Amino acid sequence: MKRILTLLIILTLVYCCTKEKKQISGYLDLERQYYSQQNPDSLLGSLTRKLYFNNDYSFLTVADSSATADDHLYIRDYTTNTVYLKKTFEDVNYYAAFPIEKEQGVTYTGETKTILGYESREGIHIGVMNDTTTFWVTDKIGLDRTIWSLVDVDGFVLEAEYFNGVKKKITNIHFEQVNDSFFKNEIEKIKTYQKESYNGLKVIEAKWELNYYKNRLKEYREQYNNKEISKERFERIEQDYKSWLKDIEDRIKELKEKDKM
């Protein structure tokens, strides 16, 4: 009798371990909204993206925007615990590959709300630059997936709000079959681009941002020289821009130092 019971227990354990896990896949519609930092209720603009997902991968598509800084995508390969990040600057495609981070810098407030019919927990993420993201995540879908850039959390993120006035909201979730080959083909495409370290890619991005603000300041200077704006206004703008340029230059130095480590 003992032998029969032992055999039954072993067979049950083997069945549980080998039982195929529930397949969950599809895509979601994501709206990225830009609000004024001075007036949080003032919507300045928005763009839409899609996040495709299945049990082994997720793919946050490029934005439907002409803004170069938004022309990027993230693919997560959960079979190898790897994030592939692609960005485009000055018509050159770059990519970086690095490990998936989970729950780093994340705390939960205990607050909840319902989003698209899913009960969601409120969490806060604090980044390495002390930037804060408030997000809402549900465990009712059955996958751990994120709609923002780097950090993964326990559960499926349905909404995120950044310190700089950017909000990401899922408007629809479509459950349908998305095969691994779809994600693998996108990863192979990314690997044809110019490879950089993560910090190296951030340096390229910061240099693009630096040139953008320098050109904008040059335009304001020309407006002042052409008497299109007053001296007082130009001096205020120049003071702000010099501060921003200094911050970006400091960031570039810091990123270069990190890349040497």
CATH of the domain at 55: 2.50.20.10
Query: Could you tell me the pLDDT band of residue 11, with boundaries at 50, 70 and 90?
Result: very low
| 3 state SS of 133 | strand
Query: Could you tell me the pLDDT band of residue 213, with boundaries at 50, 70 and 90?
Result: very high
Model confidence, pTM:
0.78
Domain end (from 150, 176, 195): 195
Q: Are residues 166 and 204 in the same domain?
A: no
Amino acid, res. 3: R
**Beta bridge pairs of residue 174:** 27
Q: Express as a percent the part of the chain with pLDDT over 70.
A: 81
Burial of 51 (0-12, 13-18, 19+ CB in 10 A): buried
Which residue intervals of 81-194 are DSSP H helices?
180-190
Q: Are residues 113 and 207 in the same domain?
A: no
Q: Examine residue 14 and state whether it is found in any structural domain, yes or no.
A: no
Mean pLDDT of the chain: 84
Q: Are residues 234 and 130 in the same domain?
A: no
Q: Cβ atoms within 10 A of the Cβ of 29, count? A: 14
pLDDT score at 207? 94
User: DSSP string covering 41-81, please?
Assistant: T-EEEEEEEEEEE-SSEEEEPPPSS--GGG-EEEEEETTTT
Query: Could you tell me the pLDDT band of residue 245, with boundaries at 50, 70 and 90?
Result: very high
Which residue intervals of the chain are DSSP H helices?
2-18, 180-190, 198-225, 231-260
Q: Examine residue 125 and state whether it is found in any structural domain, yes or no.
A: yes
Q: Are residues 142 and 67 in the same domain?
A: yes
Amino acid, res. 58: S
pLDDT score at 32? 78
Q: Are residues 124 and 187 in the same domain?
A: yes
Q: Can you give the residue range of the structural domain that contains 69?
A: 26-195
Q: Are residues 162 and 206 in the same domain?
A: no
Q: Are residues 83 and 118 in the same domain?
A: yes
Whether 214 shows a pLDDT value over 90: the answer reads: yes
Q: Are residues 170 and 128 in the same domain?
A: yes
Tell me how many domains the chain contains: 2
CA separation for the pair 215, 226 (Å, rounded): 17
